[in-house]
């Protein structure tokens, strides 16, 4: 009998969040901006984003006089605190219960004053920080496996690995018994050498795909299809459709 175990191609960080290697992340889990370089982040569905800081690490080491912060979301409108968006007085932002429509460019402008020692002249300086946030889905078949669990992908992959191990142990034990006891009758279902295989299924849920060029730091991740693309099935490719203006599209109008 040939036994097949299907494994998800997507294994995600246990924290539910990935980030670009050249971003600046502190021990507290804060993500700082990089002037002139968008920081890419990948957030699991229904998880909170990391805390984004409207400042770079070098700026934190200097005195910042009268700072103000302006966050702008993917819809190019200023962000204010609500049940999904948490913005602190010190310019830190966190997106709660992340969903596909929340993907996109988050921009923060830091404004602060500098004072010339000789003339005491004040000057307002502005610095922009860009954060590109994408969403990463659960593994295929998550609804039937995990019900309401927010850690569905981790649970699904863990359960599949357990099933694989138990199936393998069963057939190995069966083969050992019959190799050492020739009086036993061979059952209808038995193990044949070299017939047990594990097949990894490379798929993404509709509205998601893989793009090594765009997401080189997360090339094996299923990432939400961006504007201008869609994925109608479990294929790993986001197809082109210029009329689409949203994230996570599953059809081309």
What digits encode the pLDDT tens for the residues 118-135?
Answer: 778 889 999 999 999 998
Domain presence at residue 36: yes
* Domain shared by 186 and 217, yes or no: no
CA separation, residue 170 to residues 161, 166, 199 (Å): 14, 6, 18
Q: Which of 91-95, 110-114, 181-185, 230-234 bottoms out in mean pLDDT, i.e. has the lowest?
A: 181-185
Residues composing the chain: 253
User: Is there a contact between 56 and 91 (Cβ–Cβ < 8 Å)?
Assistant: no
Q: Which domain holds residue 240?
A: 201-252
Which of 16-20, 93-97, 115-119, 243-247 has the weakest average pLDDT? 16-20
What are the φ and ψ backbone dihedral angles of 39, each rounded to 5 degrees?
-95, 125
Please give the tally of structural domains in the chain: 3
**Do residues 80 and 157 both lie within one domain?**
no
Residues 167 and 190 in one domain: yes
Q: Are residues 36 and 93 in the same domain?
A: yes
Task: Establish if 17 belongs to a structural domain.
Answer: no
On whether the pTM is more than 0.85, the answer is: no
d(CA 208, CA 139) in angstroms, rounded, equals 11
State the chain's mean pLDDT as an integer.
78
Q: How far apart are CA 73 and CA 109, in angstroms?
A: 12
Query: Is the same domain home to 135 and 38?
Result: yes
Grade residue 173 by pLDDT with cuts at 50, 70 and 90. confident
Same domain membership, residue 81 and residue 127: yes
Same domain, 189 and 137: no
Q: Establish if 13 belongs to a structural domain.
A: no
Residues 34 and 138 in one domain: yes
The answer to whether residues 192 and 242 belong to one domain is no
Quick check: is 2 in a domain?
Answer: no
pLDDT confidence of residue 11: 27
Q: Which of 196, 214, 230 is the last residue of a domain?
A: 196
Q: Among 46-55, 82-91, 172-181, where is mean pLDDT lowest? A: 172-181
| Residues 124 and 67 reside in one and the same domain | yes
In this structure, are 81 and 162 located in the same domain? no
Give the least confident one: 3-7, 58-62, 138-142, 240-244. Answer: 3-7
HEC sequence for 7-38:
EECCCCCCCCEEECCCCEECCCCEEECECCEC
Query: Which residues are within 8 A (CB) of 185 and not within 5 positions of it... i.e. 6 or more apart?
Result: none
């Amino acid at each position: 009998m040939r036994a097949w175990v299907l494994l998800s191609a997507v294994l995600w960080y246990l924290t539910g969040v990935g980030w670009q290697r050249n971003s600046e992340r502190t021990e507290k889990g804060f993500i700082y901006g990089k002037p002139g370089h968008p920081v890419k982040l990948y957030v699991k569905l229904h998880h909170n984003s990391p805390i984004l800081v409207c400042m770079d690490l070098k700026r934190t080491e200097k005195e910042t006089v009268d700072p103000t912060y302006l966050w702008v979301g993917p819809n190019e409108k200023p962000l204010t605190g609500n049940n999904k968006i948490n913005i602190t007085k010190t310019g830190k932002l966190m997106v709660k219960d992340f969903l596909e429509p929340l993907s996109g460019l988050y921009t923060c402008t830091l404004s602060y004053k500098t004072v010339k020692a000789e003339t005491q002249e004040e000057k307002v300086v502005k610095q922009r920080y860009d954060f590109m946030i994408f969403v990463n889905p659960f593994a295929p078949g998550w609804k039937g496996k995990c019900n309401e669990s927010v850690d569905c992908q981790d649970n699904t992959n863990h359960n599949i690995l357990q099933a694989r191990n138990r199936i393998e142990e069963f057939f190995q034990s069966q083969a050992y018994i019959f190799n050492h006891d020739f009086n036993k009758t061979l059952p209808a279902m038995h193990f044949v050498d070299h017939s047990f295989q594990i097949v990894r299924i490379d798929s993404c849920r509709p509205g998601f795909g893989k793009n090594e060029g765009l997401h080189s730091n997360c090339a094996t991740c299923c990432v939400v299809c961006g504007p201008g693309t869609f994925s109608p099935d479990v294929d790993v490719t986001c197809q082109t459709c210029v009329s689409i203006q949203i994230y996570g599209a599953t059809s081309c109008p």
